[in-house]
A and B are shown apart, each in its own frame.
Chain A
Amino acid sequence: MFFAQLKNELWKLFGKKRTYIGFIMLLLAENGVSFALYKTHFSLQKRLLENNGYALDAYASALTAAFIVLAPIAPLLLPLYVALIGGDLVAKEAEDGTLRMMLCRPVSRVRLLVVKWCAGAVFSIVLVIALGILGILCARIWFPWGGMFVLEPEDHVFSVFTASEGFYRYSLATIFMLAEAFSIMGVAFMFSCFNVKPAAATVLALSLLLMDFICFHIPYFQDYQPWFFTYHTRVWVCMFWEHIPWWRVGSSLIVLAGLNLTFLVIGCAAFQVRDIKS
């Protein structure tokens, strides 16, 4: 029954046109940035590589471009689209009146929420995989296959990989980006369980994330960075360290899992005591 219910939730989710906004915008953004990189010939990267004794020709590749595209999209655009869907999952149905139709059924409220959360998680998986695949495909249109050069000053990352190693790291990063997507969807989902409009749930979630993101980047809080949500959602960047810090990855995943569970419990508790009225 659980899988039948999940399948139906996915029908509902992927039957809506707004679900595809994220995919379309990611495609446009990734293609746009790749094209811009092609036109500027990696001018910034060229200087850095040459100063460190590498030749640009070996690393001006689809993988390098894909990372450059991924770096701003993951913390800025990805949260927007998963928060949009997470915020809709319960609040939109309550607003439309379909939630009331569902709650005439002998299904527990917690069960309903768990099914909906899983549907949100499936959406997050599909969006992140699309982000990864589209990123590399768009970059491949403009750049040849070759070694990968990664520069991420914020995380002190300066790495060069062969094409096969780079592709492996890029794939790993895409997989670990799921932790970010799940967590942000979870925050929006939690707000969606309260008696609020869907847009309010999305805005609340994004506001919380942006506040965390801003504080995380204020130098005054540098010593407290592991206490910030952003620190843990950036776990995918660790995949581009020369030696992947699995201890940090593990601890971040545990923190995110705990937070996700907490968000779900708060959402369930709020939804459980709510009166559902027309």
Chain B
Amino acid sequence: MIELRHVIKKFASRTAVNDLSLTVSRGEIFGLLGHNGAGKSTAIGMMLGQVWPTSGTVNICGHDVTSQRALALKKVGAIFEAPAFYDYLSGWRNLEILSHYTAPTSKARIQEVVDWVGLTGREQSKVRTYSHGMRARLALAQTLLPQPELLILDEPGGGLDPEGIAEMRQTILRLHRELGLTILLSSHLLTEMEQLCTRIAVLNQGRKVFEGPISEVKASRRRVALQTPDFAAATTLLNERGMILGSERGQFISLKEDVTTADVSRVLVTAGIALEGIWLHEETLEDFYLNLVKPPLLPTNKN
């Protein structure tokens, strides 16, 4: 559904997106992760034909966005962080205005979408009277009007309270389950991404530093929490024995492939280092992300 090939975007001398290649297949919920200014919104802008790539190609639904924008975006819906509407008009009028830039849309279809997102009864009210949550629903409604196959959601939880975020998460899952949509989701909310996405890509300073399934993220490293009064001595010893890949935050070690927690316990106890606890710690997306974009606190022993 989405295919970016060696895409570069420069704003004057600053490179916002650097050689980005990305593929999102039909039926996926794909997450785009990255810090502020990592290039996520620029990449999404290029997918929607709002930002022109300096070089490379962007294909959406099999069409080049640069040269065949109308065809490429025919079955695409998008939501941005803090979606903007004509606040002085009603929700219904906003939906009419936006839908007519895709195709003629019947009143019945607009009503169907209004009902689906749960705005029934408030569709004739002026948008300026809407709460954040209602605006988010209206944003969702406008994306659903052209019966899209692909949804591009740029920080859809922005400005929502925890309840709103949970509602948005359920809605995204519902869209995927009930309508079979392919979804590209960009968000800072790592736990949301972890719960929703089947695959992710991580951008750091305009470059893609990871692309793969969430399951791969979790299995990528075997982290162990080590509770000992002398963590430094313990990691130095384990490093000398070549049993660990590295250590973090005075609490975690990453085991080499063939090393077990029993091996670690035996080595530490034999060396006389007090061991108060040791257990496998499943890596969260946040741990994985922070490790990707930040250097580890202690360097790995090259031996």
Contacts and interface: CB of A to CB of B under 8 A. Distances in A.
Given A8-B97, A15-B89, A275-B52, A97 B80 contact: yes
A77 interface: no
A17 to B, nearest CB: 8
B97 A277 contact: no
B72 A276 contact: no
Contacts of A1: 100, 103-104
B98 A275 contact: no
Given A11-B89, A97-B82, A275-B51, A104 B73 contact: yes
Nearest to A97: B84
A103 B45 CA distance: 10
B141 interface: no
A153 interface: no
A126 to B, nearest CB: 19
Contact of A275 (B50, B70, B82, B102): B50
Contacts of A103: 48-50
Contacts of B82: 97
A277 B45 contact: yes
B76 interface: yes
Given A104-B48, A277-B45, A277-B50, A4 B70 contact: no
Q: Which of A97, A102, A105 has the most CB of B within 10 A?
A: A105
Q: Is the interface of B mostly helix, strand, loop or mixed?
A: loop
Contacts of B41: 277-278
A104 B49 CA distance: 8
A47 interface: no
Contact of A5 (B52, B77, B100): B100
A101 B45 contact: no
A106 B89 contact: no
A104 B77 contact: yes
B101 A105 contact: yes
B71 interface: yes
Given A275-B50, A276-B51, A277-B41, A106 B84 contact: no
Q: Which of A16, A17, A96, A275 has the most CB of B within 10 A?
A: A275
A16 B88 contact: yes
Contact of A106 (B80, B96, B102): B102
Nearest to B89: A15
Contact of A101 (B88, B89, B93, B98): B98
B69 interface: yes
A223 B42 CA distance: 53
Contacts of A108: 69-70
A98 interface: yes
A1 B84 CA distance: 23
Contacts of A273: 52
A216 B41 CA distance: 48
A248 interface: no
Interface in B54-99: 69-74, 76-78, 80-86, 88-89, 93, 96-98
Interface of A: 1, 4-5, 8, 11-12, 15-17, 96-98, 100-108, 112, 273, 275-278
- For the complex of A and B, list the 10 residue pairs with the smallest distance between their C-beta atoms, beginning with the closest: A97-B84, A105-B101, A106-B73, A104-B78, A276-B50, A106-B70, A8-B97, A107-B101, A275-B51, A4-B100
Given A104-B78, A276-B50, A277-B50, 5 more contacts: A1-B100, A12-B86, A101-B80, A103-B50, A107-B101
21 contacts: A1-B100, A1-B103, A5-B100, A8-B96, A8-B97, A8-B100, A11-B93, A12-B97, A15-B86, A17-B88, A101-B83, A103-B49, A105-B73, A105-B102, A106-B69, A106-B70, A106-B101, A108-B69, A112-B101, A275-B52, A278-B41
